Amino acid sequence: MSRDQRVFTEAQLQEWDLPPDEPDDTDGLPGHVVSDEQVGDAKYGSQRRLVFVAPDDERTWEIEYELAHEAYRFDDGPDYGWIGGQVTGTMILLPGRVEGEGQR
């Protein structure tokens, strides 16, 4: 794995409220979410790209996940997912932001 990648566990992301419950509700997104946008469509869901600042390292990361279409959402589990219990994020640089600036 390169230096610009990091593995996040499902538990970590849930602790940080990621992905957001309602990603299209831009007013209700957690403060550490930079963007959450649809990048593709599938039969039962949409592929989304989430960009966020990880609270533990103050770096900006991008992950992709799938969100179930409304008709396929059930009360017995999450409406989003990825294969396996972890997801690999890629560090990205945002203009005007110094990565890790909150760290001491």
Domain limits for position 13 = 5-91
Inside any domain, residue 80: yes
Q: What's the domain count of the chain?
A: 1
Percent of the chain exceeding pLDDT 70 equals 65
Inside any domain, residue 19: yes
CB < 8 Å & 24+ apart, contacts of 52-57? 52/16, 52/18, 54/6, 54/8, 54/16, 55/16, 57/100, 57/103
pLDDT of amino acid 104: 34
Geometric angle at alpha carbon 89, from 2 and 58, rounded to 5°: 95
What is residue 91's three-state secondary structure?
strand
Inside any domain, residue 43: yes
What is residue 81's three-state secondary structure?
strand
Whole-model pTM: value is 0.76
- Give me the half-sphere count of Cα atoms (radius 13 Å) on the Cβ side of residue 69: 8
Inside any domain, residue 50: yes
Inside any domain, residue 48: yes
Inside any domain, residue 31: yes
